[in-house]
Amino acid sequence: MSDRAAILQSVRSASRALDTSAADIAAEAAALVADRTGVQPGFDGVPLTDRFVAKATSERVTATVDHVAGFDGVPGAVQAYLAHVKRSGPICVQSCAELDGLNWTGMERGATLQEDGGCAVTCAEYGIAETGSVVFRSGAHQPILTNFLPLHHIVILRTSTLLAYPEDLWAHLGGRDAPQSRLLTIVTGTSGTADIEARNVRGAHGPKHMHIVMVAD
């Protein structure tokens, strides 16, 4: 007998619910999460943007946030951040429709991130207000490593993509029947570790600094 058959047979022989139909199991599973609000941390009345910013900039998440009125303002905000952290040299900007058309004069695009210490600008697909998180997916124009290799990670986030809870995200991604990208990551702040004496330290392997530029749209 294959290991697969052996495992499934052992599972079945231990089960007392073999005659339940797939539809009934699905209904039972759905009922367990039907009342979302019962388990979602409530923030009634607080606008999504306020909740997002409060969480993202909290002591536990440690990002910084800037606001611009439109995409045209993004290069200026990036330049201001670089000046603030006293960085010069080339930066790695994700190549995508939103960022390619902008005026990057004064900044050198095209850095690779193989060496440590770089700075990258990437577009998040969604923001999650509950935890101050940003969401990235892999794709042709979304190399995942760009979000993990820099020391400074500048995230461009459209305010219209803010969602209250991760449960809302699944609905936006099209549910179980929609094609899924290889990787979907919910990023909350920067790479950290508490592995030595439980002391929280930032910049473990990935970004040490996260700066979120929120674009009003």
Partner 1 sequence: MIQTSDRFKEHVARALTDTNLKVALNRTTSLLQTRRKQVVEEYAEYDEARKRAQAIKDHTLKHMAHYLEMFEENATAQGAIVHWAKTPDEARRIVADICVKAEAKTATRVKSMLGEEIGIADALKDAGVERIETDLAEHIIQLAEDPPSHIVMPAMHKTHEQVATLFDDKHGVAPDSHDIPDLVASARRELRQKFLSADVGISGANFLIAETGAIVTVTNEGNSELTCTPPKVHIVTAGIEKIIPGMDHASVFLRLLARAAIGAEITQYTTFYNGPKRDGDADGPEQYHIVLVDNHRTDMLGSDLQPMLRCIRCGACMNHCPVYAAVGGHAYGAVYPGPMGSVLTPALSSLEAAKDLPNACTLNGRCKEVCPVNIPLPDMLRNLRARQWDAKLVSPVAKTALGGWGYLAQRPKLYHLVVGLTVHGMRAWAFGRNRIKRMPFAGGWVKHRDLPRPEKGSFMQQYNASKHGIGRRS
Task: Give residues 158-187 in contact with partner 1 (rule: CB under 8 A).
Answer: 165-167, 170, 176, 180-187
DSSP 129-176: TTTTEEEEE-BTTB-GGGGTS-SEEEEEEEGGGEESSHHHHHHHTTGG
**In this chain, which of 50, 60, 84, 103 binds partner 1, going by CB under 8 A?**
60
* Min separation Cβ 105 and partner 1, Å: 26
Spatial distance between the Cα atoms of 104 and 77, rounded to a whole number of angstroms? 11
CB of 65: closest distance to partner 1 in angstroms?
17
Among 19, 42, 101, 105, binds partner 1 (CB under 8 A): 42
Q: Tell me, rounded to whole angstroms, the distance of Cα 168 from its chain centroid.
A: 14
Residue 57 binds partner 1 (CB under 8 A): no
Sole residue written with tokens 């439980």:
198
Positions in 101-130 near partner 1 (CB under 8 A): 114, 116, 130
Pick between residue 13 and residue 105 the one whose CB is nearest to partner 1: 13
Q: Is 140 in the site for partner 1 (CB under 8 A)?
A: yes
> Do residues 144 and 183 make contact, with C-beta atoms less than 8 angstroms apart?
yes
Which residue number, 33 or 83, has a Cβ lying nearer to partner 1? 33
Residue with tokens 């910013």: 53
